Amino acid sequence: MSGLETYCAEITDKLNCGILLLDVDLKLVMWNQFLEVHANKKLAEIAGQSIFSIFPELPQRWFERKITSVVQLGTPSFCSWEQRHHLFELPHTRPITTGSEFMAQNCTFSPIKRNNKIEHICILIEDVTDVCYYQSMLKKTMNDLALSNRIDGLTQIFNRKHWEDCLAQEFAKARRHDHKISLIMFDLDHFKLLNDKYGHQGGDRVLIDIAENVTSMLRLGDIFGRYGGEEFAIILPETDIKGASELADRLQKSINQADIIFQKNCIKTSVSIGVAELDKAESHYESLISKADIALYKAKSSGRNQFCVYE
C-alpha cells in the first residue's frame, strides 16, 4: 500500500459510519471498523459470505431489487430512516437515553465501477438515531400544538376559529359538488341567571355537559364548535333543512330533558335554536351564519326553548 492508501484505510476505519462493500452476487467483500464493532463479527471470518446470512433480518426481495436498480441503471439509491427506521439490526450509542432498540439509519447504495463495469456496490450506513429521536419528539409536540390550536379548552370541542375554517371549507366543497349544507346555531337560555345562581363553575359544568350531550347525537361528518360564550354551532354537510330541523328538534328536547348534576344540585336548562340551509344564490359562508343567527333570535323572542327555521 502506498502512503496515501494507508491513510485512506485508517480514515475509513475512524469514520463514525458504516462502509460495506458487496460484489454483484451480494457477497461481502469488506467493511470498516465501525461495522466490525457494531455487528460484532470479524471481517476475516465472514468475508465472502452472503449478506443475507450475515444479516438475516434484511428483507431479501426488496434488497435484491434495490441492488438491481443500482447495477442496471448505474445510479445511487437511498433508504432513509423516515421510511424504514433501519435496514441492519445494529446497536447504537444512546441505548439509555432514547427509546429505540436498533440504530436508526440512512443508507446509501452506490455503484462502484472497475474498467467501466459495475463490479461492486458500496453501502454507506449513517447512524441517525439522534435525529430520529428528536424528530419524533418534535412531531409529537407539533401535533399536540396543532390540536390545542383547534380545541376549546373548556368543552373540548372545536373553537370558533377552527370551526369557521371548517365552515369555509365545507361551504366551498358544497358549492363545488352542488351539495346541500345546513347550519344549526344554538344559545343557552338564561345562562346569566344560571351563573348567578350556581356560580361560574356551575355554568361551566352546564357548558361541558351540553357539549358532550350534543356530540353524542351527531353524525361523523358533522362539525360542532363553540361559537361564543354560551353559543354553539353545528355544520351539517349534505343535509337539507328538513334533516337539520329534525336534528334541532331532537337536540332541543334532549337538552331540555337532561339533568345536569352540580354539587348535588340538579340543574335544568334549555336552548334556543336557529336553523338555516345554504341558498343557491349565496356566495359567502358568512351569510349562512347570519341566517341561522336571525332564526335563533326569532326562537328567543318567541319564548325560548324551541327551534326556528330561517325563511
Partner 1 sequence: MPFSLDEDQLDCLQELINVAMGQASDQLARYLDTFVFLKVPNIELVKAEEFSKSLTGDNQSTAVVSQGFFGYEGIRGEALLVYQHKDSDHIADLLGYDPDELSDEEQLIDISSILTTTFLNVFARQIDNQLSYNAPKLLTSEQDSMSEYLDHLSFSWDIALKVNITYQVTDYSFNCDMILLIPESAIIDIKTVINRILEAL
Interface residue with partner 1 among 62, 199, 212, 301 (CB under 8 A) is 62
Number of residues counted as binding partner 1 (CB under 8 A): 20
User: Is 135 among the residues that bind partner 1 (CB under 8 A)?
Assistant: no
Nearer to partner 1, 76 or 243 (CB): 76
Q: Say which residue the cell 328538534 belongs to.
A: 249
Considering only the stretches 59-67, 85-93, 175-183, 295-303, report the one whose residues sit in contact with partner 1 under the rule CB under 8 A. 59-67
Interface residue with partner 1 among 10, 11, 13, 78 (CB under 8 A) is 78
In whole angstroms, what is the distance from residue 236 CA to residue 244 CA?
7
DSSP assignment of 141-159: HHHHHHHHHHB-TTT-SB-
Give me the half-sphere count of Cα atoms (radius 13 Å) on the Cβ side of residue 78: 6
Helices 241-257 and 191-216: angle between axes, nearest 10 degrees: 120
Nearer to partner 1, 15 or 73 (CB): 73
101, 230, 286, 311: the catalytic one is 230
Considering only the stretches 79-87, 181-189, 212-220, 228-236, report the one whose residues sit in contact with partner 1 under the rule CB under 8 A. 79-87
Q: Which 156-195 residues touch partner 1, going by CB under 8 A?
A: none
CB of 121: closest distance to partner 1 in angstroms? 15
In whole angstroms, what is the distance from residue 281 CA to residue 292 CA?
16
User: Is 76 among the residues that bind partner 1 (CB under 8 A)?
Assistant: yes
Considering only the stretches 76-84, 148-156, 189-197, 298-306, report the one whose residues sit in contact with partner 1 under the rule CB under 8 A. 76-84
User: Is 129 among the residues that bind partner 1 (CB under 8 A)?
Assistant: no
230 is catalytic: yes
Q: Say which residue the cell 358549492 belongs to.
A: 175
Interface residue with partner 1 among 14, 65, 139, 140 (CB under 8 A) is 65
Considering only the stretches 60-68, 113-121, 136-144, 224-232, report the one whose residues sit in contact with partner 1 under the rule CB under 8 A. 60-68
End-to-end CA distance of the chain: 93
Distances (CA, A) of 85 to 88, 106, 114, 131, 294: 10, 8, 32, 11, 56
User: Is 80 among the residues that bind partner 1 (CB under 8 A)?
Assistant: yes
In whole angstroms, what is the distance from residue 32 CA to residue 35 CA?
6
Do strands 271-277 and 307-309 pair parallel, antiparallel, or not at all (unpaired)?
Answer: parallel
Nearer to partner 1, 8 or 73 (CB): 73
For residue 224, the surrounding DSSP H or E stretch is: strand 223-226
> Where does the chain have alpha helices with state H?
3-14, 33-39, 43-46, 51-54, 60-73, 129-150, 160-177, 191-216, 241-257, 285-301
User: Is 59 among the residues that bind partner 1 (CB under 8 A)?
Assistant: yes
User: Is 41 among the residues that bind partner 1 (CB under 8 A)?
Assistant: no
Give catalytic residues, as residue numbers.
230
Return residues touching partner 1 (CB under 8 A). Answer: 59, 61-62, 65-66, 68-69, 72-78, 80, 82-84, 106, 108
